[in-house]
């Protein structure tokens, strides 16, 4: 019996419920796919993750091994089997493809991790070389199966390091390669077994397209969860954990004598009193407003975080000539004449100049933040609503004191 005593056929739901559920499912799937397709992608995230867990070098070796296996596959299949190349040009192609594979294997070991554009060129080379080698050996089913296994490995590389759109291009390329190989095999085989060939294509299609696709979707969810754990839910800024993680990449990239690492700690003055007087909702509004102002005042490449309570931090690598302007702008951004209740801050800045690579990247975050924190407490103990700067190049020079926007 259904609701109100209305009987429904066995296994059926009320019509209104069924339509609602189907509509919700369609919308959720469509929006989910759209979100996956349009998601922001940061190529540097995975190398930074691998570096943080000391997996970058093993990963480079793994890619190098794949390149070596690919080179060996090309030589073994095309030069040392009964399906020998039947012309000089074919032999030349085999030698060039195998040689490029062994060269790539060496490069992955001795060269630094590639930037995004070079990684894309590597993917393009791998796809093209694999397609050529598979088509050259398409007369042998075993050759096609072995080469298709290498395509799966290429898909794993794209899954880990590139966006959903690059993955879709890879899947289309791989699918066309396998389909073209199957058609070519059927045309040259005097007695083709179409059912067996179709079964092989079906299995390869699932392995080559399904596995990387599922892995990529799962990886994106894991990345979103990881990034969520690095964000402050109230302001959307990085939290302390996120700042510590991202700052390692920022410190490692600082490689110039003309660059300064600037760490600024901003502590709002009297937030507890403001909460007690105007309520916590107003205090939360102030925190969100200050977060937005700091994010706008900081350089585009800077890291801005809420450390907890009423304390914020900004870390940036900038040209030395811009240090004074950037630090003053961050401090002045807290105050706005439009605020119903005046908001001020005690700000401490630690400026490291000179040869940046001497920093131990693994401990630099705690060290730089601690020194900026000391400068902030100096500003607060001097009455608040001021900026105190210290620099690594002049540790005995008196601190510079500034009021917000009125110095």
Q: Would 324 be classed as within a structural domain?
A: yes
Where is the domain boundary, 198, 228, 258? 228
Q: Are residues 206 and 335 in the same domain?
A: no
- Least confident window among 7-16, 33-42, 95-104, 344-353: 7-16
- Kindly state whether residue 33 falls inside one of the protein's structural domains: no
pLDDT at 61: 97
Q: Cβ(237)–Cβ(295) under 8 Å? A: yes
Specify the CATH number for the domain of residue 281.
Answer: 3.30.70.270
Kindly report, residue by residue over 334-387, the tens digit of the pLDDT.
Answer: 988 888 888 899 999 999 876 544 456 667 888 899 999 999 999 999 998 999
pLDDT band of 407, cuts 50, 70, 90: very low
Would you state the pLDDT for residue 369?
Answer: 93
Total domains in the fold of the chain: 2
Q: Is residue 144's pLDDT more than 70?
A: no
Rank 116-125, 243-252, 269-278 by mean pLDDT and report only the highest. 116-125
Q: Are both 88 and 172 inside the same structural domain?
A: yes
Asked if residue 9 belongs to a domain, the reply is no
Same-domain pairing of 95 and 244: no
Based on the fold, state whether residues 217 and 283 are members of the same structural domain.
Answer: no
Q: Is residue 132 in some structural domain?
A: yes
- Same domain for 254 and 224: no
Q: What is the pLDDT of residue 355?
A: 52
Number of C-beta neighbours around residue 127 at 10 A: 19
Residues β-bridged to residue 311 = 267, 308
- Quick one: what percent of the chain has pLDDT higher than 90? 37
Of 8-22, 88-102, 341-355, 385-399, least confident by mean pLDDT is 8-22
Q: Is the pLDDT of residue 225 over 90?
A: no
The yes-or-no verdict on residue 138 having pLDDT over 60 is no
Q: What DSSP string runs through 267-332?
A: EETTHHHHHHHH-HHHHHHHHHHHHHHHHHHS-TT-EEEEEETTEEEEEEEEEGGGHHHHHHHHHH
Give domain status of residue 183, yes or no.
Answer: yes
Question: What are the residues whose beta carbons fall under 8 Å from the beta carbon of 104, sequence distance 6 or more?
Answer: 64, 67, 122, 125
Report whether pLDDT(53) > 80.
no
Reported pTM: 0.59
Verify that 192 and 252 share a domain, yes or no. no
The answer to whether position 11 is within a domain reads: no
Q: pLDDT tens digit string along 291-302?
A: 999 999 999 889
Q: Let me know if residue 19 belongs to a domain.
A: no
Domain identity same for 268 and 223? no
Confidence of residue 4 (pLDDT cuts 50, 70, 90): very low
Same domain, 389 and 295: yes
- Please tell me the distance from the alpha carbon of residue 235 to that of residue 293, in angstroms, as a whole number: 11
Is pLDDT of 96 > 80? yes
The residue among 196, 228, 260 that closes a domain is: 228
Same domain, 287 and 217: no
Q: Is 31 among the domain residues?
A: no
Band the pLDDT of 185: cuts 50, 70, 90.
confident
Average pLDDT, the chain: 81
| Structural domain that includes position 381 | 240-402
- Of 45 and 96, the structure prediction assigns the larger pLDDT to 96
Are 154 and 181 members of one domain?
yes
Are 212 and 317 in a shared domain? no
pLDDT tens for residues 59-83?
999 999 999 999 999 888 877 765 5
Do 266 and 211 fall within a single domain? no
Q: Which two tokens stand for residue 2?
A: 């259904």
On the question of pLDDT at 269 being above 60, the answer is yes
């Amino acid at each position: 019996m259904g609701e109100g005593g209305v009987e429904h056929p066995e296994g059926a739901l009320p019509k209104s419920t069924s339509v609602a559920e189907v509509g919700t499912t369609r919308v959720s799937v469509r929006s989910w796919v759209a979100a996956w397709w349009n998601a922001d992608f940061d190529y540097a995230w995975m190398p930074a993750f691998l570096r943080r867990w000391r997996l970058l070098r093993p990963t480079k070796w793994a890619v190098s091994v794949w390149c070596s296996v690919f080179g060996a596959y090309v030589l073994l299949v095309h030069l040392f089997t009964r399906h020998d190349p039947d012309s000089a040009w074919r032999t030349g192609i085999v030698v060039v493809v195998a040689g490029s594979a062994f060269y790539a294997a060496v490069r992955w070991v001795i060269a630094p991790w590639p930037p995004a554009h070079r990684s894309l060129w590597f993917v393009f080379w791998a796809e093209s070389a694999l397609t050529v080698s598979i088509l050259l050996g398409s007369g042998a089913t075993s050759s096609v199966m072995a080469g298709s296994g290498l395509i799966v490995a290429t898909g794993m590389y794209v899954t880990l390091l590139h966006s959903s759109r690059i993955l879709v291009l890879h899947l289309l390329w791989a699918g066309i390669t396998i389909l073209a190989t199957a058609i070519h095999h059927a045309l040259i085989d005097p007695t083709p077994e179409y059912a067996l060939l179709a079964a092989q294509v079906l299995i390869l299609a699932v392995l080559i397209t399904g596995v990387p696709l599922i892995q990529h979707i799962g990886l994106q969810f894991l990345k979103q969860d990881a990034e969520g754990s690095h964000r402050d839910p109230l302001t959307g800024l990085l939290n302390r954990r996120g700042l510590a993680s991202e700052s390692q990449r920022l410190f490692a990239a600082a490689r110039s004598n003309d660059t300064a690492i600037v760490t600024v700690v901003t502590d709002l003055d009297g937030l507890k009193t403001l909460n007690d007087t105007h309520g916590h909702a107003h205090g939360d509004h102030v925190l969100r407003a200050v977060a937005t102002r700091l994010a706008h005042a900081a350089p585009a490449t800077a890291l801005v975080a809420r450390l907890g309570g009423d304390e914020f931090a900004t870390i940036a690598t900038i040209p030395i000539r811009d240090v004074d302007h950037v630090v003053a702008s961050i401090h002045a951004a807290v105050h706005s004449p439009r605020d119903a209740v005046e908001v001020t801050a005690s700000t401490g800045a630690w400026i490291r100049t000179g040869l940046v690579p001497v920093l131990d990247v693994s401990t630099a975050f705690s060290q730089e933040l601690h020194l900026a924190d000391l400068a902030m407490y100096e500003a607060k103990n001097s009455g608040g609503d001021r900026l105190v700067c210290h620099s690594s190049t002049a540790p005995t020079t008196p601190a510079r004191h500034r009021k917000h926007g009125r110095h």
